[in-house]
Amino acid sequence: MSKTVNFSEKLEPMAERIGEHAKSALENPETRHLEEREVIKRSIQSIANEISATTAPSPTESAMKTESNLPSYMADDDEGDAAKEVERLIDEAVNNGMEKALRLAKKSSPFVEDAFHDALVDKLMPEFKKRGIIK
């Protein structure tokens, strides 16, 4: 799998893990019929569940703000608490690694956790297309 220079160094280790999981799922006859976006989301959720089984570090706030990566269904609510929480989780993933952000997302409401997974899919899909993991 070739790496893209502009892709976040903090996202790279987990992106590789998610990519391998998604590629395997796309080759599996039981999940081959699913849309690529759904396969990536399920891969993120599966890995998030694995991570939550381990001891979580104490949460910290990320000081850096990234461009808005909210899922489209949250775009109109960019001032709401849920949107702010998703943005904070995205910042955490970009600045401190996806594993830590996935652990923090598990402590959020199911809506926020799902929206965060959707935001990760949006962020990872173009990269996975470049790498040939998905079409």
For tokens 């109109």, what's the residue? 76
What integer pLDDT is reported at residue 14 of this predicted model? 86
Phi, psi of 8 (to 5 degrees): -55, 130
Residues 6+ positions from 11 with CB-CB distance below 8 Å = 93, 94, 97, 98, 123, 124
User: pLDDT band at 7, cuts 50/70/90?
Assistant: low
Q: Report the pLDDT averaged over residues 66-84.
A: 72
Residue type, 67: E
Return d(Cα 83, Cα 35) in angstroms, integer. 26
Q: What is the pTM of this model?
A: 0.67
